[in-house]
Amino acid sequence: GDGAAAGSSGYTNSGYSVYEEENDRLTESLRTKVSAIKSLSIEIGTEVKNQNKMLSEMENDFDSTGGLLGATMGRLRTLSRGSQTKLLCYMMLFSLFVFFVIYWIIKLR
């Protein structure tokens, strides 16, 4: 009876040892995968920070460019208003001149 019990216990111990080795191997594999995921997530975080910094700089550049463009458009509006006024004034003077020339021609006949 003792021989069978010892043999059975030896078989059980070797079974546990196989499972322990399998668990150790799987644990190491999992540890490697977790380490890879951790380093990947750190790299992603670094890349996100760099991209956010670049977006912030681009936003500042666009804001300054928008301000410059707005100021330029304001100047163009001012110039166009002034030139329209001058153009209108020149047209009125030319019309008066043509009117007086026609009046003078009709008066001389």
Domain boundaries of the chain, sorted by first residue: 13-82
Q: pTM of the entire structure?
A: 0.47
Q: With the CA atoms of 48, 53, 56 and 62 taken in that order, what torsion angle do they form, in degrees rounded to the nearest 10?
A: -110
pLDDT band at residue 85 under the 50/70/90 scheme: confident
Structure tokens at 98: 């043509």
* Measured CA angle at 76 (ends 61, 66), to 5 deg: 15
* Least confidently predicted of 25-34, 38-47, 67-76, 82-91: 82-91
Nearest-angstrom CA–CA distance, 16 and 9: 10
pLDDT of 101 > 90? The answer is yes
Q: Where in 44-88 does DSSP place strands (E)?
A: none
* Least confidently predicted of 16-20, 36-40, 98-102: 16-20
Nearest-angstrom CA–CA distance, 97 and 103: 10
